Amino acid sequence: MDLSGWIDAFLDHLRVERALARNTLEAYARDLSRLAAHVGDAASPDEITPDRIASLLVDNVRTGFGARSSARQLSALRGFFKFLVRERILKEDPTALVERPGIGRRLPKTLSFEDIERLLATPRLDTDGGARDAAMMHLMYASGLRVSELCSLRVADLDTKRGVVSVLGKGRKRRLVPVGEVALTQVTTYLEHVRPRIAPAGESTLFVSRRGKRIARQVFWKSMKRYARGAGITQEISPHKLRHSFATHLLRGGADLRAVQAMLGHADLGTTEIYTHVAQDHVRDAHARAHPRA
């Protein structure tokens, strides 16, 4: 089987056995297609040497492919070649000795608590769409959900008595996340007074459009941008910024790092630790303002 066929087999493995999200699969496919375009679809996997991998990374620089994108691509290539080694197609991984492109660690951008307050107060609660959007944004900020997790929630996933939501995250792993009282009130109001009017019988999805269908994440993103403009927020907005803000504000409030890791659904504590750098900014600012020799 040629390189193109093994790429398809690897993507099938990721989809079926590892249950990766569609967006992640598409990213893998794009990164591996760049390799196929560089060496040729009909190439055999054993023709790909470390020099050819390095050549691809050098070519990325010439074509304006950024260091961060190259690092992500190399990660996809390593996963692919490890798969081929496990399948005994290759004896060695040609990426093993290829150095990862040097990149700075990008800190997540967050909203201030004041911006969050204004954003959450913007939707009109006397309209079905406004009440639903308010419930979605409150829940996302209260529980740190990914937008894909938020849009795929079912009614049965929300336990209003215990104040928790059951979230199906990456790798199809479930986690229980607390829901604050304010967010729970917003979601309960939507459930009792709005959803019965717009959701058809038998629909299990929690948040639905006026047509009774599951809300697309792109639609929710556009709504958030509109609310941000109405709230006078000038910085670029996205649903993921609510998740970043959730984690940062929790840590600033003294939350335990491992508890935040569990709520975010991070497999690796190192992924969560990046928020500690952002959470400490206010400490440094206070020092700069108050210390006579700052």
Query: What are the residue ranges spanned by the domains of the chain?
Result: 3-86, 113-286
Among 109, 118, 225, 240, the one annotated catalytic: 240
Main-chain phi, psi angles of 167, to 5 degrees: -115, 130
> CA of 108: how far to CAs of 46, 275, 283, in Å?
39, 7, 17
Among 78, 154, 170, 217, the one annotated catalytic: 170
Helix (H) / strand (E) element for 255: namely none
Please tell me the CATH superfamily of domain 113-286, with its number: Intergrase catalytic core (1.10.443.10)
Main-chain phi, psi angles of 136, to 5 degrees: -65, -45
Among 34, 138, 241, 243, the one annotated catalytic: 243
Residues 82 and 74 sit within 8 Å (Cβ to Cβ): no
Encoding tokens for residue 134? 């308010």
* pLDDT score at 270: 62
**Hey, is 26 helix, strand or coil?**
helix
240 is catalytic: yes
* pLDDT score at 128: 94
* pLDDT score at 151: 93
266 is catalytic: yes
Among 146, 195, 244, 252, the one annotated catalytic: 146
Domain 3-86 sits in CATH at 1.10.150.130
* pLDDT score at 72: 84
277 is catalytic: no
* pLDDT score at 263: 83
Same fold, 3-86 and 113-286: no
* pLDDT score at 101: 64
Rounded Cα distance, 78 and 117, in Å:
43
Rounded Cα distance, 136 and 144, in Å:
11
Give exposure, 230-262, as e/b (b: 16+ Cβ within 10 Å): ebebeeebebebbbbbbbbbbbbeeeebeebbe
User: pTM higher than 0.85 for the full model?
Assistant: no
* pLDDT score at 285: 55
Rounded Cα distance, 81 and 253, in Å:
43
Using CA of residue 13, residue 17, residue 22, residue 27, what is the dihedral sign?
negative
pLDDT digits (tens, 9 = 90+) for 53-69: 888 888 877 777 777 77
Encoding tokens for residue 255? 């939350």
146 is catalytic: yes
* pLDDT score at 291: 45
Residues 261 and 269 sit within 8 Å (Cβ to Cβ): yes
* pLDDT score at 294: 46
* pLDDT score at 195: 95
pLDDT digits (tens, 9 = 90+) for 220-259: 999 999 999 999 998 888 888 888 888 888 888 887 778 8
Q: What is the pLDDT along the chain (294 residues), one digit of tens a residue?
A: 888 899 999 999 998 888 888 888 898 999 899 888 888 878 888 888 888 888 888 887 777 777 777 788 888 899 999 999 999 999 888 888 777 765 555 656 788 889 999 999 999 999 999 999 999 999 999 888 989 999 999 999 999 999 999 988 887 888 888 898 999 999 999 999 999 999 998 899 999 998 889 998 899 999 999 999 999 998 888 888 888 888 888 888 887 778 878 788 776 666 666 666 555 555 455 445 554 554
